[in-house]
Amino acid sequence: MATARMSASPTKFHAPVPGTLPAPERELRRRFLEEAEVVPGGERISQCLQCGTCTGSCPVSYAMDISPRMVIALFRAGQIEEILRSRTIWICASCYMCTTRCPQSIKITDLLYALKRTAIDAGLYPEQFPVYLLSKNFVRIVNRFGRNQEMLLLLFYYLRRNPLGLLRLLPLGIQMIRKGRISLFPKKIKGVEAIRTILRASKSLELPREKQAVPYAEGMVGYRAVG
């Protein structure tokens, strides 16, 4: 699917100056590089050989629309938006096999995190996207209690996303409750105020960024940019 879209773009290419990226893509790139900078060794992305070891090592690449190798290729080709709209970045289970095996020591898993953050920041993930929904609820629970509460997390998630899935989980849930493996009553830690203070302070650390949807520039991407 991604390949089809990629091959279609050169014919529709209307960038004003050859060799430069369209404005929305430039903006996404700037944001991504900002996020990638936090990753120690993040700059090694420029050393990619396109050998495909990452894709071959990934236990879930079979379910991705863009392979990990292609993620780096698209980054180099100036098509970050394509990456951010893929389900690849969300399907990564963070097992770090690609990072371990990469002959160029590229921090692939951490860079995928940077891409996730860029996608969230730019509002480019699909509405009600499972991974984002789960993360959001997780963060909400931790901010409220200081610890995660597995039961609340799954409850919130399934109620929003898939109430029927909750029914399906019910027998397992009951079994786990019987075995004493689900805590029914959330515990709050004493230092929860500290967590909230850290949270508030972290917001003041950075200039507030407007969450702005970047218009999808179909056909405006695909020109080679310096990685």
Q: Which residues would be at the binding site for other proteins (CB under 8 A)?
A: 35, 38, 40-41, 59-60, 63, 90-91, 93-97, 99-100, 107, 109-110, 113, 116-117, 120, 130-131, 134-136, 138-139, 142, 146-151, 154, 157, 172, 175-176, 179-183, 187, 189-192, 194-195, 197-199, 201-202, 205
Give whichever of 16 and 59 is closer to other proteins, judged by the CB atom.
Answer: 59
Give whichever of 9 and 149 is closer to other proteins, judged by the CB atom.
Answer: 149
SS3 content of the chain, % helix, strand, coil (to 5): 60, 0, 40
Which residues touch 16 (CB under 8 Å, ≥6 apart)? none
In the complex, the smallest distance separating the C-beta of residue 193 from other proteins, rounded to whole angstroms, is: 8
Give whichever of 15 and 83 is closer to other proteins, judged by the CB atom.
Answer: 83
Which residues touch 127 (CB under 8 Å, ≥6 apart)? none
In the complex, the smallest distance separating the C-beta of residue 46 from other proteins, rounded to whole angstroms, is: 18
CA distances from 183 to 153, 157, 178, 179 (A): 12, 17, 11, 11
In the complex, the smallest distance separating the C-beta of residue 25 from other proteins, rounded to whole angstroms, is: 22
Neighbouring C-beta atoms of residue 200, cutoff 10 Å = 9
Question: Sign of the C-alpha dihedral, residues 40, 41, 45, 49?
Answer: negative
In the complex, the smallest distance separating the C-beta of residue 40 from other proteins, rounded to whole angstroms, is: 4
Give whichever of 52 and 215 is closer to other proteins, judged by the CB atom.
Answer: 52
Give whichever of 63 and 167 is closer to other proteins, judged by the CB atom.
Answer: 63
Q: Which of 73, 91, 84, 75 is nearest to 122 (CA)?
A: 84
Q: Which of 65, 122, 121 is nearest to 90 (CA)?
A: 65
In the complex, the smallest distance separating the C-beta of residue 65 from other proteins, rounded to whole angstroms, is: 12
Contact between 205 and 198 under an 8 Å Cβ cutoff? The reply is no
Give whichever of 23 and 195 is closer to other proteins, judged by the CB atom.
Answer: 195
d(CA 13, CA 123): 25
In the complex, the smallest distance separating the C-beta of residue 9 from other proteins, rounded to whole angstroms, is: 28
